[in-house]
Amino acid sequence: MMEQPHSCCKGAEVLLNLQPTSSVSIQYHPFFGSHDDLVLLELDEKLLSDVLYQRVTLRGQPDEDAVLCTKSKTYSVKFVGTSNSVFLIPPADCSTSHESGGENYKQQVATASVIKVAPGNMELVEVAPRLDKLKSILSENLYSSDEASTAMGDLYKWDDLINKVQASDDELKAGLQALSAVEIDGYWRIVDEKYMDVILRMLLHNSVLNDWLLDSLVEDKVVSVLESDGFPRKLVYHCLNVYGSSVEEEAMGGGVWRLDARRVCVHFARGVLREGKRKMESFMEEWLRMIPEEMQPSFDMLEGEVLTEKIGVETWVRALSVSSLPTTPAERFSILFKERAKWEWKDLEPYIRDLNVPGLSSEALLLKYTRRSQPSIDAEPVFSAR
């Protein structure tokens, strides 16, 4: 219950603190009207403090449905109408309600004024961040080896991305990480795969030349050698980030890095398949030839990256990377079923593992977007389009 330092006989306070055997006159406010600029937003208690402490923003382009973002989550905003009459009563503006004189004193009837009849309220539903746009805008201008000579199209700084992409700050950062984007001169860029290939190969070549161990690469050495070979420093670090993980920092010589076998092997597999599908034997032969000696490639490293299909007696391999697929479930499943009409769970799982729909488990996703069939009792279940 609110303590009023002075007796306020008007507005929401009177209504909310109405004492037993008391009454209050409900009136139309002097400024009663449609007040389209006043909207009600319903939210979970846990979001309330984020809103009150100014930690949320609305994001979106004029042609998009607005989303509300906290630091780490994204919510769609929807209007829900009501057929009831919802009388909205503001607190009294007590500064104007006090007039001097006894005349007013004896007329002090409690009143509460209705400023507007609300047609409904806004509701929030947590949604996955809309990151497909991030990928498409950053792919407009890939950073390549001939960067200096390429025409400068639209480049995006962090603030530009916030304005264009409907995601919270944390989700945007995670999205940039997932795309292996790198910030160069303040602009977020995706580096062209062919250029990354050149840098990686140079790194591996130098490792052989200088007897570097691929699971303990000394950052400073790697960077200085590759820089003297003409690669921008930023990109050498980026290469280490994309294909490796940092190991415990050494006291001297800066960081130490370990190249990740899976990431390196996937990179070369994609390179082999860039021009199109290959017969399995031909693919394996070329792929194995490119892998550094110290690494043991295995075909299951390529789950979520390649598809195999039997054409006649031959097995063919072609590239299909989960990272190239849409992040929204409906579109993801649509493309997957175009690529292949029927999927066994073990093949399908890597391609939907990353799907994120708040409130929907992977079983629920399958139920919603696929048709499950089982040819016979002991056969593997098969998923196809609904």
Partner 1 sequence: MQIQVKCSCGAEKCPEWAIIELQGVVEVQPSFQHSLQNLQIGLLCRPSSQENYTFTVGYHELTGSKVALKKPMVVLKKIKYMDVATSSSSCVELDVVGVIRHKILFKTRPTALISGPQPTVKEKINAAGA
Question: Of the candidates 301, 316, 379, which has an alpha carbon nearest to the alpha carbon of residue 342?
Answer: 379
Can residue 1 be called a binding residue for partner 1 (CB under 8 A)?
no
Q: According to the binding rule CB under 8 A, does residue 13 interact with partner 1?
A: yes
Q: Which of 1, 2, 311, 377 binds partner 1 (CB under 8 A)?
A: 2
Site string for partner 1, 173-192 (x = CB under 8 A): --------------------
Least CB distance to partner 1 at residue 194 (A): 35
Least distance between partner 1 and beta carbon 142 (Å): 26
- Interaction between residue 15 and partner 1 (CB under 8 A): yes
Half-sphere exposure of 277 (CA within 13 A, CB side): 14
CA distance 261 to 296: 7
Do 139 and 190 meet the contact criterion of CB atoms below 8 Å apart?
yes
Residues of span 121-140 touching partner 1 by CB under 8 A: 121
Region binding partner 1 by CB under 8 A among candidate stretches 8-16, 177-185, 235-243, 304-312: 8-16
> According to the binding rule CB under 8 A, does residue 18 interact with partner 1?
yes
Binder of partner 1 out of 3, 6, 81, 84 (CB under 8 A)? 84
x-marked contacts with partner 1 along 20-39 as a string, rule CB under 8 A: xxxxxxxxxxxxx---xxxx
Q: Take residue 229 and report the two structure tokens written for it.
A: 């070979």
Q: Using the rule CB under 8 A, is 96 a contact of partner 1?
A: no
* Residue 77 binds partner 1 (CB under 8 A): no
Interface segment toward partner 1; rule CB under 8 A; list 77-85, 128-136, 192-200, 316-324: 77-85
| Beta-carbon-side half-sphere exposure of residue 210 (alpha carbons within 13 Å) | 17
**Greatest C-alpha distance within the chain:** 104
CA atoms of 50 and 68, how far apart (whole Å)? 11
- The span of 81-89, 182-190, 225-233, 263-271 binding partner 1 (CB under 8 A) equals 81-89
When computed from its CA atoms, the radius of gyration of the chain, rounded to whole angstroms, is 31
Number of residues that bind partner 1 (CB under 8 A): 61
- Asked if residue 80 binds partner 1 (CB under 8 A), the reply is no
227 lies in the binding site for partner 1 (CB under 8 A): no
Q: Which of 94, 81, 84, 166 is nearest to 132 (CA)?
A: 166
Ordered DSSP codes for 150-204: S-----EEHHHHHHHSBS-HHHHHHHHHHTT-EEETTEEEPBPHHHHHHHHHHHH
Give the C-alpha separation, 263 to 255, whole Å.
Answer: 20
Interaction of residue 16 with partner 1, rule CB under 8 A: yes
CB of 15 to partner 1, least distance (A): 5
Position 163 contacts partner 1 (CB under 8 A): yes
The verdict on 44 binding partner 1 (CB under 8 A) reads yes
**Which tokens is 14 given?**
């009177």
- Does 112 bind partner 1 (CB under 8 A)? Our answer is yes
Q: Does 62 bind partner 1 (CB under 8 A)?
A: yes
Residue 156: partners with Cβ closer than 8 Å, 6 or more residues away: 137, 138, 164, 187, 188
> For residues 4 and 315, which CB has a smaller minimum distance to partner 1 in the complex?
4
Q: How far is the CB of 77 from partner 1 (least distance, A)?
A: 11
Question: How far apart (Å, rounded) are the C-alpha atoms in residues 251 and 20?
Answer: 74
The number of residues making up the chain comes to 386
SS3 at position 111? strand
Residue 61 in the binding site for partner 1 (CB under 8 A): yes
Phi/psi at 116 (5° precision) = -165, 155
Told to check if 99 binds partner 1 by CB under 8 A, we report no
| Tokens (6 digits) for 123 | 């509701």
Mark the segment that binds partner 1 (CB under 8 A) among 53-61, 212-220, 251-259, 349-357.
Answer: 53-61
Among residues 128, 155, 162, 322, the one that binds partner 1 under rule CB under 8 A: 162
Nearest residue to 300 via CA among 311, 308, 292, 291: 308
In the complex with partner 1, the residue whose CB is nearer, 14 or 236, is 14
Task: Give residues in contact with partner 1 (CB under 8 A).
Answer: 2, 12-13, 15-16, 18-32, 36-45, 48-49, 51-54, 56-62, 66, 68, 83-91, 112-114, 118, 121, 162-163
